[in-house]
Amino acid sequence: MATGFYWDEKCFWHSGGNYALTLPVGDFVQPLAAGGLPESPETKRRLKNLLDVSGLANELQMRSADPATREDLERVHPKAHLDRFKEVSDAGGGELGLRTPFGKGGYEAATLSAGLAKEAVRAVLAGELDNAYALSRPPGHHCLPEWPNGFCLLANIAIAIEAALAARQAKRVAVVDWDVHHGNGTEAIYYDRDDVLTISLHQAHNYPLDTGDIEDRGRGAGLGYNINIPLPPGAGHSSYVQAMNRIVLPALESFNPDLIIVACGYDASAFDPLARMLATAETFRVMTAQMMASADKLCDGKLVLVHEGGYSEAYVPFCGHAVMEELSCSTTEVPDPMAKTLHIRQPDARMEGFVVELIDEMAEIFAKTAGSG
């Protein structure tokens, strides 16, 4: 099993602005001791460090990549917007959208982040790797073509997909987004198209507040090719596994993609400051195994995970390490130090039953409005 891990120290040097979590520091908002956005480099760096310390990094093909080119970017983002982004970045930084501050060099960090995703997709589709993980930073799944949003400066996954389609490496791509926040940017980019299936599992009405509803199924040629699975706060491990089994995996099988990409956020974990779900490291391990089985069945194992959110510096590394163990079929073991505690904190049978019933109702709705394939 050849598993690629794409990362670059320069992505860790991307800087945000003066926020206290998601609140701009101002007259009545005091700066936090740590400073800046929760989207800090430490969750990503500590994941990479844990891979090194455990020895798992030695089993992976550790790679970097060139930044995405201007041609790559313009397949998704308008030229005028990119020009403005570069201008503000060169002038010392600023903010062009909502909760997307960046410092000097933010443009270059974002193009490198997109480049990691693009190269991971290229290498897997070319057969150079069985699967791959891109430790992209800044993230991308909230970014609209002309509007950065929610820490996301460029649409990393869409840029990677469009490069693969342009190179005729693939014709149909599925994106499964298990970041706890709705993947509104990816959804918007492909809402009218039937060559990219977009699926988002997220905490209902967390962020953005006004997107991610079950009824949003696509438009025109894309009708039926967008699936939103909004889960109630505290849904827990079993709910994610059931949502994958009842909705995600059947949708992938019906679509029959050439490649599966996972927007891999870890902010559904029980210790995330920006969400209220109860996913564990084991949740992410199991979902990775489910994605690998689906990819093996549908597209010769072609699977790429692209890092998105996740803001617990202490716990994200364990979630990510579990994913990488599964993805690479490694026997390296890093035990989750919070496994017993989180097992006890999972929803009781009544709550689980309620969420499973909700998932079953959503599955019926999606089955009736599925794309023609």
- Work out how many domains the chain is built from and give that number: 1
Taking residues 314-328, what's their average pLDDT? 98
Taking residues 116-125, what's their average pLDDT? 98
**pLDDT band of 31, cuts 50, 70, 90:** confident
- Is 346 within a domain? yes
- Is 23 within a domain? yes
SS3 call for 261: strand
pLDDT above 50: residue 94: yes
Task: Quote the domain boundaries for residue 63.
Answer: 3-368
87 CB neighbour count, 10 Å cutoff:
11
User: 67: Cβ–Cβ under 8 A, 6 or more apart, which residues?
Assistant: 108, 111, 112, 114, 115
State the Cα–Cα distance between residues 185 and 140, nearest whole angstrom: 8
State the Cα–Cα distance between residues 21 and 1, nearest whole angstrom: 39
Tell me what the pLDDT averaged over the chain comes to: 96
State the Cα–Cα distance between residues 198 and 270, nearest whole angstrom: 25
User: 350: Cβ–Cβ under 8 A, 6 or more apart, which residues?
Assistant: none
pLDDT above 50: residue 373: no
Q: The domain spanning residue 156 has which CATH number?
A: 3.40.800.20
- Is 123 within a domain? yes
Tokens 């194992």 belong to which residue?
301
Give residue 213's identity as a one-letter amino acid code: D
- pLDDT score for 24: 84
Reported as a single tens digit per residue, the pLDDT across 234-280 is 999 999 999 999 999 999 999 999 999 999 999 999 999 999 999 99
pLDDT above 50: residue 196: yes
pLDDT above 60: residue 372: no
Which one, of 338, 349, 201, 170, lies nearest residue 264 by Cα?
201
- Is 29 within a domain? yes
- Is 373 within a domain? no
- Is 286 within a domain? yes
Reported as a single tens digit per residue, the pLDDT across 200-238 is 999 999 999 999 999 999 999 999 999 999 999 999 999
Instruction: Give the residue numbers annotated as catalytic, written as ranges.
Output: 142
Phi-psi region of 118 (alpha: psi -120 to 50; beta: other; left: phi over 0): alpha
State the Cα–Cα distance between residues 304 and 41, nearest whole angstrom: 21
Reported as a single tens digit per residue, the pLDDT across 332-352 is 999 999 999 999 999 999 999
Strands (E), the chain: 3-6, 19-20, 23-24, 61-63, 93-95, 101-103, 131-134, 173-177, 196-203, 226-231, 259-264, 303-307
